[in-house]
Amino acid sequence: MRYSGLQVLAQGLTGNRGWRPAWRDPAPKDEYDIVIIGGGGHGLSTAYYLARDHGLTNIAVLEKGYLGGGSVGRNTTIVRANYFLEGNSQFYSHSLKLWEALEADLNYNVMHSQRGLINLFHSDGQRDAFVRRGNMMINQGDDAILLDREGVRKLLPYLDFEQTRFPIYGGLYHPRGGTARHDAVAWGYARGADRRGVDLIQNCEVTGIDIAGGRVTGVQTTRGAIRAKKVGIVVAGRSSQVAAMAGMRLPIESHVLQAFVTEGLKPVIDHVISYGMGHFYISQSDKGGLVFGGDLDFYASYAARGNLPMVEHVAEAGMTLMPMIGKARTLRSWGGIMDMSPDGSPIIDRTHIEGLYLNCGWCYGGFKAVPGSGNCFAHLMATDRHHPAAERYRLDRFATGYGLMDEEGTGSQHNLH
Ligand SMILES: Cc1cc2nc3c(=O)[nH]c(=O)nc-3n(C[C@H](O)[C@H](O)[C@H](O)COP(=O)(O)OP(=O)(O)OC[C@H]3O[C@@H](n4cnc5c(N)ncnc54)[C@H](O)[C@@H]3O)c2cc1C
């Protein structure tokens, strides 16, 4: 069923009884050409691009819970292409271009809103770093505008410009940055993959990976064994656990990241704002809630919920930047599991096991990567060659030290990236 204005009108006039489920609910077959483990944003987009770009449709996505129940439906929805290092800047630029064509491509409203992202800086040193970043973004073909203090005041008059501890010196404005509705992205890709014949199998946990003679032959699941010629591990926060089923020890640590939303308010924040001193980021959802977050909880965990000290820390940072936020009532907070890599950059690669592929290490920036990651991972799984935009995301860089992409400059400490 194609969605259109005419369809909405026709359904509205006939009691909305003609809508069909957005995807089927098939039973798993005994065998597929490709099995994707994980029905998050990256798993679903991989399946979609395998079908769309490579004509491969004998594919199953196996999801242990429900589609979109992982971090793809838990993030603060920020989409941007403002990376500095070569390798990252190409990849996120590629991903942003896919975002810009996504709604027409999927025939699905993912509410992609390019409302502009502003990264604030609070010292001369930070300004220099942002000038370099902005130049890198422009060289990559993306957009960046350096704002001085008055330029920021014009766009964000409600910030506290008088605070003396972390005075606002200016900001790096990325007009094509913005937000998208996270669960709609999962649903749009799910529907697109299903329409092309991919089986999306929910409540199907992978419990083992079958390997014979150095080749992957299939997976064991809570719904029986499934044979497959190729298997992709795309399970984000659970990457280390699932890779361990194939005898692999990944350089990934899983950490909790929390987010918060307030009651719905009238429009007040038009942009996405990122606070350079307190690691606080905020935007306003289309429903009116202020959506915000901060740092990781700073300990490794598989619990998809966090603790109070970080709630206090995030609230403190928000109050320092925009005291008006103290008047809003927080409606909910939640957490998700982040697959933190030692250099803060992801992995899209083959493994030493023939036919077994790995996509992980997205840290807390993997939502904006969903289109690019699926597109590049599908290319790798279909052709056994790296997509040029994701060529640098090799697993062996953590063994050899060659090609590390430490975007934050914080060294090899997972929780600082
Ligand atoms: C609070 C928060 C804020 C964030 N903010 C942003 C942001 O603003 N911008 C941004 O770019 N990124 C953000 N992120 C990061 C981003 O959400 C993640 O990097 C990204 O969603 C991870 O990829 P995914 O969507 O595939 O993961 P998930 O949605 O977690 O998908 C993985 C799936 O694998 C399934 N799975 C696991 N084990 C198995 C198994 N054994 N068998 C079958 N299935 C299995 C899980 O159930 C899950 O559904 C944020 C994350 C959080 C938690």
- Asked if residue 317 belongs to a domain, the reply is yes
- Closest residue (by CA) to atom 20 of ligand 1? 366
- 185 in contact with ligand 1, CB cutoff 6 A: no
- 70 in contact with ligand 1, CB cutoff 6 A: yes
361 forms beta bridges with none
- 232 in contact with ligand 1, CB cutoff 6 A: no
42 CA closest ligand 1 atom index = 26
Whole-angstrom distance, CA of residue 198 vs CA of residue 191: 9
- Asked if residue 98 belongs to a domain, the reply is no
Q: Alpha carbon of 319 to those of 78, 159, 180: distances in Å?
A: 21, 10, 25
- Closest residue (by CA) to atom 4 of ligand 1? 75
* 271 CA distance to ligand 1 middle (Å): 24
Last residue of a domain, one of 340, 355, 376: 340
Domain check: are 361 and 333 in the same one?
no
- 242 in contact with ligand 1, CB cutoff 6 A: yes
Whole-angstrom distance, CA of residue 36 vs CA of residue 55: 16
* 337 CA distance to ligand 1 middle (Å): 7
Domain check: are 352 and 218 in the same one?
yes
Domain check: are 326 and 294 in the same one?
yes
With beta carbons less than 8 A apart as the criterion, state whether 372 and 389 touch.
Answer: yes
- Asked if residue 336 belongs to a domain, the reply is yes
* 365 CA distance to ligand 1 middle (Å): 10
- 45 in contact with ligand 1, CB cutoff 6 A: no
pLDDT of residue 82: 96
With beta carbons less than 8 A apart as the criterion, state whether 168 and 120 touch.
Answer: yes
- Asked if residue 82 belongs to a domain, the reply is no
- 42 in contact with ligand 1, CB cutoff 6 A: yes
Last residue of a domain, one of 340, 363, 378: 340
- 78 in contact with ligand 1, CB cutoff 6 A: yes
Domain check: are 400 and 322 in the same one?
no
* 77 CA distance to ligand 1 middle (Å): 12
- Closest residue (by CA) to atom 50 of ligand 1? 75
pLDDT of residue 1: 86
- 76 in contact with ligand 1, CB cutoff 6 A: yes
- 193 in contact with ligand 1, CB cutoff 6 A: no
363 CA closest ligand 1 atom index = 19
Domain check: are 265 and 206 in the same one?
no
- Asked if residue 242 belongs to a domain, the reply is yes
- Chain-centre distance of CA 58, in angstroms? 26
With beta carbons less than 8 A apart as the criterion, state whether 328 and 263 touch.
Answer: yes
- Asked if residue 57 belongs to a domain, the reply is yes
Tens digit of pLDDT at every position of the chain (417 positions): 899 999 999 999 999 999 999 999 999 999 999 999 999 999 999 999 999 999 999 999 999 999 999 999 999 999 999 999 999 999 999 999 999 999 999 999 999 999 999 999 999 999 999 999 999 999 999 999 999 999 999 999 999 998 888 999 999 999 999 999 999 999 999 999 999 999 999 999 999 999 999 999 999 999 999 999 999 999 999 999 999 999 999 999 999 999 999 999 999 999 999 998 878 999 999 999 999 999 999 899 999 888 999 999 999 999 999 999 999 999 999 999 999 999 999 999 999 999 999 999 999 999 999 999 999 999 999 999 999 999 999 999 999 999 999 998 888 899 888
Domain check: are 354 and 257 in the same one?
no
Helix 370-383 vs helix 88-100: angle between axes, to the nearest 10 degrees?
110
* 301 CA distance to ligand 1 middle (Å): 14
Residue 261: CATH number of its domain: 3.30.9.10
- Asked if residue 100 belongs to a domain, the reply is no
Residue 232 belongs to what H/E stretch? Answer: strand 224-233
Domain check: are 172 and 259 in the same one?
yes
- 182 in contact with ligand 1, CB cutoff 6 A: no
Domain check: are 263 and 292 in the same one?
yes
pLDDT of residue 164: 80
* 274 CA distance to ligand 1 middle (Å): 21
Domain check: are 347 and 336 in the same one?
no
- 108 in contact with ligand 1, CB cutoff 6 A: no
- Asked if residue 228 belongs to a domain, the reply is yes
Which amino acid is residue 286, in one-letter code? D
69 CA closest ligand 1 atom index = 49
* 235 CA distance to ligand 1 middle (Å): 7
256 CA closest ligand 1 atom index = 53
* 252 CA distance to ligand 1 middle (Å): 14
- Closest residue (by CA) to atom 51 of ligand 1? 75
Whole-angstrom distance, CA of residue 133 vs CA of residue 137: 6
Whole-angstrom distance, CA of residue 136 vs CA of residue 407: 13
Residue 216: CATH number of its domain: 3.50.50.60
Last residue of a domain, one of 306, 340, 374: 340
* 90 CA distance to ligand 1 middle (Å): 22
DSSP state of 148: E
With beta carbons less than 8 A apart as the criterion, state whether 342 and 398 touch.
Answer: yes
Has this prediction a pTM greater than 0.75?
Answer: yes
Residue 171 belongs to what H/E stretch? Answer: strand 170-174
Residue 380 belongs to domain spanning? 25-77+183-251+343-416
Domain check: are 348 and 335 in the same one?
no
Domain check: are 236 and 262 in the same one?
no
DSSP state of 417: -
Domain check: are 336 and 202 in the same one?
no
pLDDT of residue 277: 85
Provide the domain count of the chain.
Answer: 2
* 154 CA distance to ligand 1 middle (Å): 36
- 38 in contact with ligand 1, CB cutoff 6 A: yes
